[in-house]
Structure 1
Amino acid sequence: MTQDVRPDPDALLDRVQEEQARAHRGRFKVFLGAVAGVGKTYAMLQAARERKAEGVDVIVGWVDTHGPS
């Protein structure tokens, strides 16, 4: 008689839930450049436009460390 080897349903459910959680995580991308005028802002906005066209929600943050604090 052959035994039917079936995976544990709880283990399968855990794996599916982990994959779904991973799929809904955000992504963080940093655009670095050594000097002004190398195209960091343009590249960031272009990438944001492309992702937005794919239907992804896009959030942009800006940190300016120049000038008086």
Structure 2
Amino acid sequence: MIYKVYYQESKQEVPVRECTMTLYVEADSERDVRLKLKDKPYNIEFVQLLDDSHLDYEKQSENFQVES
């Protein structure tokens, strides 16, 4: 399953929509995503499971790259 993660680059940053970054992670669950990213300094705002149609849309972006 592919998850879209919305985050700030630093845990000290207050979430601001204009500064929110995204990345895509292949994982079995939301918990697994958070475990994979726990060593990064990210302030994770939201983790979203992508359904097939949403995933197809995201793949059209030139920035689409899945981390495993």
- When normalised by structure 1's length, the TM-score is 0.25
Relative contact order: is structure 1 or structure 2 higher (C-alpha 8 Å, sep ≥ 6)? 2
Structure number with higher strand proportion: 2
Structure number with higher helix proportion: 1
* Pair member with larger Rg: 1
- When normalised by structure 2's length, the TM-score is 0.26
